[in-house]
Structure 1
Amino acid sequence: MKTSLILSLAALICATVNALELQPTFREGNYKHVAFSASAGGSSHHTWVLSILDEVGQRGHRASYLTTSTETRFGRPYSTVETVDIGSMVFYKNNTMMTDLADGKSMIDILPQMISLLATNYERDYAILLDYFKRNEVDLALCDHFMEVCIDAATTLNIPYIVTSSLEFTSETGASYINNRIDALQQPTTEFETLYSRFHSKFISQWKLLYKLYPVVTKIAARKRALGIPAKFVLPEETWKHSIKLVNNVFGYTPARSIGPMAEQVGPIIPKSYTPLTANLESYLTLHSKVAYIGFGQSAIPTKKDVLFVLTTLLESLERGYIDGFIWSIFNSAEMFPETVVTNSGITYAVHDILNNNHPDILMLSWVPQTAILLHPSTSVFVSHGGLGSWYESIYAGKPMLMFPFFGDQPSNSFTIERQGLGYILNRKADPAQVSKLFMEVADKEIIKNVKQMQALTQIHSEHGIMRGADVVEEVLYTNKGGRLPHRVPAGTRMSFMKANNIDLYLILVFGIVAASSLVVTGVYKTYQRIKMQKKLKNL
């Protein structure tokens, strides 16, 4: 018995040792070329896709990144990605658009200007992308949703493409209760909206936006037709309906809803590597324990009024001991600071001294390693514009947030952050002395608990997000037929509306019920008449 048992164990060990591992073979001798193109929008439009592209390159494919001169910096950390400069970008840097947004101008009024600016170099970019795709035999294009020219170049050459975005903004990722139009992002859903707000958004704002966009879009369409591109006044999602939408998001950051087969959530993708702290920052953070970090991203340009409000609030918080220091990344706001600030206690601060870092508890820097600062244990709160990338980084580091939103998805993100108990929104119209109390309240145990739970969600999904994104890219590369993905097309799209929604079955059921009911009623009526006749005959 013992000998038999020993022999069985030995056989099991040998089988385990000699076990073989499955290896994929679909790439062998058939590597592809994937090109990604993006221009405006800042790092949230570039870095997460580049992380996916780098993984694609590590799998043996050729990976290219076509972007404007100022954005080529995003490609530097990725060793397997070839960065191609397509020329200068004429966008918002020398334009009042971002300042208008910060001043509270309606997105409906700004959007036509934004679309016009995005199309400034359309002819140049189209020629460059078309030539590059053709000469380099690109097999798949990844196109940022702002980069319509990339989609047009891929379409002209019949190359499959994937649309990349951090937001679910098509009907395929929408629902009747989801606000996913760019002009209606004050709240993520209609759950807490008034009847008036819902009615206005659905039947007034939407048509007002289309009316304002029509002249701009028709001019761009005419320019496209001059290049031989068939162009119509249609929603982008109609053009993209056969292409996968790759989304750097996950439920929790975006409201849960049903998502169609042509959309893939792979977020939150946060770059794995980050710049370490400088010696100066390391020393500063070591000497402090409750530091507020302020960063409004690369696109938001706060007004002078905004800067005065935030700076006053920070100084009030510092005086009251809610924080013991703050670091402000003044990338887009250096020229917006006042000469002096007077707090509620009557202390006057010379802002010139603060900007020159002469205050021991304050650091003002034009550039900072944001991720490294957020990860440091001395950082206690992130004062942010509410951009999705900043939200991801803050929660990954386990830091609560105080939101100061400007435009786009920032108000919606900020609304969600406050609703989920991850932080608060700074009310621009409130007294800075009162607002400063939020720096104390954001350290509440319940908020920290909520942040920790959201941190777990973020870290779980970010761990393999890049891999999932690269898998989707390879799926399109190796399974597309003429640029389309038949296996992702729902059977319902090949049926009539009645059949796909079982309306014919319901009609048959209703007809059957009506017919059966008619027979029953007729039978009862005839029986009644017969009984009535028999009674009459008896009485005769």
Structure 2
Amino acid sequence: MRLFLPILTFCSIVKAILQPTFRDTGYKNIAFSVSPGGSSHHNWVLSIMDLLGQRGHNTTYLTTTEETRFSKSYHHVKTVDIGPSVVFDQMALLKELSSGKSMLHVMPKVMKAWSGNHERDYFTLLNYFKNHQVDLVLCDYFMNACVDAATSFGIPYIMTCALDPSKESDVSYTNSEWYNMHDFTTEHQSFATRFYYKFIFSWINLYKNYSYYVDMTARRKAIGITTKLEPPNKKWRHSLRLVNNLFGYIPARPIGSLAEYVGPIIPQTHSPLSEELEYFLNSHQRVVYIAFGQLAIPKQETIKLILIGLLENLESGSIDGFVWATVHAAGNFPASITTSSGINYNIETMLKNEHSYAYMVTWAPQTAILLHPSTCVFVSHGGLGSWHESMYAGVPMILFPFFADQPGNALLIERSGLGGILKTDATQTESVELFRNIIEDVNGEIKANVKRMQALTQIHSKHGTMRGADLVEEVAYTHKNGVLPHRQSPADRMSVINGYCYYD
């Protein structure tokens, strides 16, 4: 009897484990389509697709020839090449984007370039969806052909984006339109500025882009697409939006029932340092890293400002080296720089890595550099992916924004005390002071702010991919004719008067 009681007690505390059964009805064919944009449009969604592949779903990445390189590290995703990108003078467009001109001037050209293969992409995707019985597709924000193909085939789609542009997550104090992203809220804007962007600029934007909308409407109609060319809040009204973002990287606001902030999703693997770069970082203690992403092209005046800030802080001992990923900018460097101390620096020899304090490289393993303990500041364009990686590593930033969401990101970084902005009209003295203030951080305030942001980033990035995959499965298994009934607001099923209680 004494032996029997312990066995009985042990057995009574053994618990059965709940096992999900929703996949017993079968695994899904899930596709992701994206064409324009850099790694920030591809990698985080590929992380989600890879996890879905590990769970047993058939996952496919449909993209242009030039972009297929992004899927090399994702072994559970099949890559399908839908053809080459549109032929256009990419460098000329990138220079124009980086020139400081209003996005209102440049955006019509960008939209025209990105939609150049709309007909080809539409039919390629539509045929793939039909031939492979795709159940659900994830469409990048700029991949309009994907939305059209999914709509024509009658399957649900999820929008993937860095910022939710729909009206559902927009309130009176937020600026979500692409032409107003130089500041994400109206908190610091005058009444005149708010009035201009809310009521005047939108009409100017419509006028500037009118010919594009007319052309796209005609092109879509010619290939049998009968749905209207609508703004995002109407076009995506039944679709989930997966947003690779997080409050702190965007001002807090109420979000709609069809928007899910799953960010920051940061790839869990990264390219290692080369032997030469590792040796350089190991032999220095305070290194500034400079990189402006895959698209931005800094002017020579900008490069001079940054070099002055770096070299004078090098002379004063605030830093002992810098690493510069030049990408497209190598041809814009000046021949020489003379600091206020009268020292003249030969930039040509610097670009050849003939100086112990400078390491210049066309392309750099950014995450590995930021994670190295010698890296003390990141000089960046302010792209969201770079911001994510910098905060994950706990590195403060100096921003020189160019276009799209970069000016808004830069303002938020500065206002949050995570770094500072190098303005286009800054003097050499102001550049040197900005670098010194961010690098030395005398009262430790920047370091404390970055530490808090680092914790926030690491906490949320740990499960971002899993949350994204869960949400994709939610849509795949719970939609009803492409609609998620449980996420639909009662107001959508009511008259305007009843929905907003106008009779109260």
- Asked if TM exceeds 0.5, the reply is yes
Q: Find the counterpart in structure 1 of residue 343 from structure 2.
A: 347
1:176 aligns with 2:172: yes
Aligned to 1:463: 462
Structure 1 counterpart of 2:10, from 3, 9, 13? 13
1:35-434 matched pairs, under 5 angstroms: 35-90=31-86, 94-434=90-430
Tell me the secondary structure at the aligned position of residue 455 of structure 2. helix
* Whole-angstrom CA distance in 2 between matches of 1:317 and 1:170: 44
- Aligned CA distance change for structure 1 residues 27 and 201 (closer, same or farther; 3 Å): same
Q: What is the CA distance between 1:377 and its match in structure 2?
A: 0.3
Residue aligned with 1:46, SS: helix
- 1:497 alignment partner in structure 2: 496
The corresponding residue for 1:483 is 482
Distance 1:41 1:91 in 2: 15
Q: Provide TM-score, normalisation by structure 2.
A: 0.97
Which residue identity does 1:13 align to in structure 2?
F
Whether the 8 Å contact between 2:305 and 2:431 is mirrored in structure 1 is: no
Are the equivalent residues in 1 in contact too, given 2:422–2:431 (CA < 8 A)? yes
8 A Cα contact 1:293 1:328, kept in partner: yes
Distance, in Å, in 1 between the alignment partners of 2:321 and 2:183 is: 32
- The farther-off stretch of 57-66 and 124-133 is 124-133
Match for residue 449 of structure 1?
448
Shift of 1:340: 1.4
What number of residue pairs does the alignment pair up?
A: 501
**Matches of 2:319 and 2:166 in 1, distance apart?**
42
Residues 100, 256 of structure 1: CA spacing in aligned structure 2 closer, same or farther, 3 A cutoff?
same
SS across alignment from 1:96: helix
- For structure 1, the residue ranges without an aligned partner over 5 or more in a row are 507-540
Q: Secondary structure at the match of 2:159?
A: strand
> Using the alignment, how far apart are the partners of 2:88 and 2:420 within structure 1?
29
Residue 500 of structure 1 deviates from its aligned partner by 2.0
Tell me how far apart the structure 2 counterparts of residues 502 and 123 of structure 1 sit (CA, whole Å).
45
Query: Does structure 2 conserve the Cα–Cα contact (< 8 Å) formed by 1:322 and 1:439?
Result: no
Contact kept, 8 Å, 2:272 with 2:365, in 1: the verdict is yes
Contact 1:92/1:98 (8 A) holds in 2: no
Query: Cα distance 1:9–1:453, how it changes in 2: closer, same or farther (>3 A)?
Result: farther
Decide whether aligned partners of structure 1 residues 169 and 435 sit closer, same or farther in structure 2, where only a CA change above 3 A counts. Answer: same
Percent of matched pairs sharing the same residue:
50
SS class of match (2:178): coil
CA separation of 1:383/1:12 partners in 2, compared to 1, >3 Å: closer, same or farther? farther
Give distance in 1, aligned partners of 2:296 and 2:358: 22
Q: Residue 448 of structure 1 aligns to a residue in which SS?
A: helix
The CA distance in 1 between the partners of 2:280 and 2:262, in whole Å, is: 36
Contact persistence 1:316–1:432 (CA under 8 A): no
Q: Is the Cα contact below 8 Å between 1:75 and 1:83 reproduced in 2?
A: yes
> Counterparts of 2:29 and 2:363 in 1: how far apart (Å)?
35
Offset at residue 54 of structure 1 (A): 0.4
SS in 2 for 1:28: helix
Asked if the contact 1:40/1:91 (under 8 Å) is kept, the reply is no
Q: Which amino acid aligns with 1:15?
A: S
Cα drift, residue 498 of structure 1 = 2.2
SS at match of 1:312: helix
Find the aligned partners of 2:379 and 2:429 in 1 and give their Cα distance.
16
CA distance in 2, matches of 1:91, 1:470: 34
Moved more, 42-51 or 319-328: 319-328
In structure 2, the residue corresponding to 1:298 is in which secondary structure? coil
Q: Tell me the distance in 2 between the aligned counterparts of 1:363 and 1:467.
A: 38
Q: CA deviation at 1:61?
A: 0.2
| Structure 1 position 104, deviation (Å) | 1.3
Report how far residue 317 of structure 1 moved: 1.9
Deviation at 1:231, TM superposition (A): 4.4
- CA displacement 1:193-219 (0-9 Å, x = unmatched): 011111111121111001111111110
Give the Cα separation in 1 of the matches to 2:189 and 2:423: 19
> Deviation per CA, 1:406-425, whole angstroms, max 9, x where unpaired?
01100000000000000000
- Give the match's secondary structure for 2:17: coil
RMSD over aligned Cα atoms: 1.6
**1:430-441 map, 5 Å:** 430-441=426-437
Partner amino acid for 2:461? Answer: S
- Counterpart AA for 2:261: Q
Alpha carbons 1:56, 1:63 under 8 Å: kept: yes
* Residues in 2 aligned to 1:289 and 1:439: alpha-carbon distance in whole angstroms: 16
Aligned amino acid, residue 143 of structure 1? C
Q: What is the SS of the residue equivalent to 1:89? A: coil
Task: Determine helix, strand or coil for the equivalent of 1:27.
Answer: helix
Q: Which amino acid aligns with 2:18?
A: L
Structure 2 portions without partners, runs of 5+: none
SS at match of 1:162: strand
Contact 2:288/2:378 (<8 A) preserved: yes
- Quick one: distance in 2 between partners of 1:419 and 1:234? 35
Which stretch shows the higher mean deviation, 24-33 or 494-503? 494-503
State whether residues 221 and 231 of structure 1, in contact with CA within 8 Å, keep that contact through their aligned partners in structure 2. no
With over 3 angstroms needed to count, the CA separation of the structure-2 counterparts of 1:91 and 1:212, relative to structure 1, is farther
Give the Å deviation of 1:10.
Answer: 5.3
Which amino acid is the alignment partner of residue 127 of structure 1?
F
| 1:232 CA drift (Å) | 3.1
